[in-house]
Structures are given as C-alpha cells and as structure tokens.
Chains A and B, each alone.
Chain A
Amino acid sequence: MSSLSLFLTVFLTGIVLVVAGLGIAILLAPKSFNLQKGEPYECGIITHGTSWMQFKAGYYLYAILYLMFDVETIFLFPWATIVRDLGYQGLYSILFFIVILGLGLAYAWKKNVLKWD
C-alpha cells in the first residue's frame, strides 16, 4: 500500500476500467443529438405543451427546504451520543445551532415560501 507503484496501479486501474467502459459505449452506441433529450421526461412521446406549465413551485420549495433542514439535523447526532459528557456547554452550543436554523426557517416563512398557493 505504501509503495507508489501499487497505488498508481490501483488508481490507473480505476480510471482505465471506467474509460474502457465508457469508451466502448461511445464506440458502439448509436449517436444522435436533439434537444428533446434534454427534456425532463424523455419517454418517446413528445409532451403536449410545456412541462413548465404543470410545475408547482410549492412542491419544489418545500422539497428544498425539507432537504436543508433534514440534513442539518446530522449535527445533532454526534451531540446526542455524548450529551451527558458535554453537559450544559454542549446544550448551549446545540441550542445556539438550532436558533440559527430557526432563523433560516423564519426568513423562509417571512418570504412566503411556506405558503402553499
């Protein structure tokens, strides 16, 4: 592991495998370019109208907000495992963290992101 040759072998093998896979795909696969491929739903039939019309902004903003707050709670886990050892200092720190998170939520609320219509 410590030797350069082994590491390079490993690294190059990774690259070569992937390049080979993709390269074969590029060589063998039929190619065509059209803008439809960039559409969100590429399922053969041309969509009627624009998919933009059916987009509900509410879902999207909710999803992003949910994602943010969901992931931020990851910082509670290490705190929770040693909550007794940390004592009050840990509690204050985590409360401060939650207040900052709450400020973010309050801003989103104030900007009417949480309004469903």
Chain B
Amino acid sequence: METTVAQIQVIPLQYYIIFCSALFSIGVIGVLAKRNALVIFMSVELMLNSANLLLAAFSAYRNDPAGQIFVFFIMVVAAAEVAIGLALLVVVYRSTKTIDINALNRLKW
C-alpha cells in the first residue's frame, strides 16, 4: 500500500487534475455533440470515470481511504446505470428501429 501511494505521488497532483478535467470535458462534449445513444452512454461513463480517477488521486494524496470507498460506490452505481441504460436502449430500439436520439421527437411542445 505504501509503495502504491508513493508511486501515485510521483506524479504531481496538478497533473491528475488536468488529466481528469480533460477527460471530464471530453465526456461532457461527447454527450452534447453525439447523437448515437450508445456513444452517449460511453461519454457518460467517461465523465463518471474521470471523477473516479480524481477521487482516487486525492485519496492517495491525503492518505484518506474515504475517497477510494466512494470510488467503489460509483463503480457499482455506474454498472447499475449501464444495465438500465442498455435495457431502455433495447426497448427504444424496438419501437423506433434506431438508436439515434434524434428519432426521439414525439414529445415536443
């Protein structure tokens, strides 16, 4: 454990923040720009995982395990979210025959 923490701390904390912010931004822009529901799921996963990485980095830097425990919860929730998302995707595909979210236009004012 100590060696792992030491190895993590070889890289300065700023670099983790830069990297995670970039990952998060890629995820956000992916969600906003892409029209394929599966790609949007992947982008959301990217957002969640950037938060995971950031939490793990902070946790290692502060020698505080709470952040890593939170990562576990995020992973589990993300898995549940993916399961539900795929199920909804199948249902939507059955009715519209596409996974392009532009086809979701029945409800509009």
Contact = CB atoms under 8 A, between A and B. Distances in A.
Asked if chains A and B are in direct contact (CB within 8 A), the reply is: yes
B72 A52 contact: no
Given A10-B14, A14-B25, A67 B83 contact: yes
B59 interface: no
A116 interface: no
Given A1-B13, A78-B72, A38 B22 contact: no
Contacts, number: 71
Contacts of B6: none
Interface residues of B, number: 32
B69 A38 contact: no
Interface in B91-106: 93-94, 97-100, 102-103
B82 interface: yes
B18 interface: yes
Contact of A35 (B79, B82, B90, B100): B100
Contact of A72 (B17, B26, B76, B87): B76
Contacts of A71: 75-76, 79
A88 interface: no
A93 interface: no
What is the predominant secondary structure among interface residues of chain B facing chain A?
Answer: helix
A78 B65 CA distance: 10
A91 B93 CA distance: 44
A74 interface: yes
Contacts of A33: 102
A64 B86 contact: yes
Nearest to B97: A50
A114 B29 CA distance: 38
A80 interface: no
B79 A38 contact: no
Interface in B15-46: 17-18, 21-22, 24-26, 29, 33, 35-36
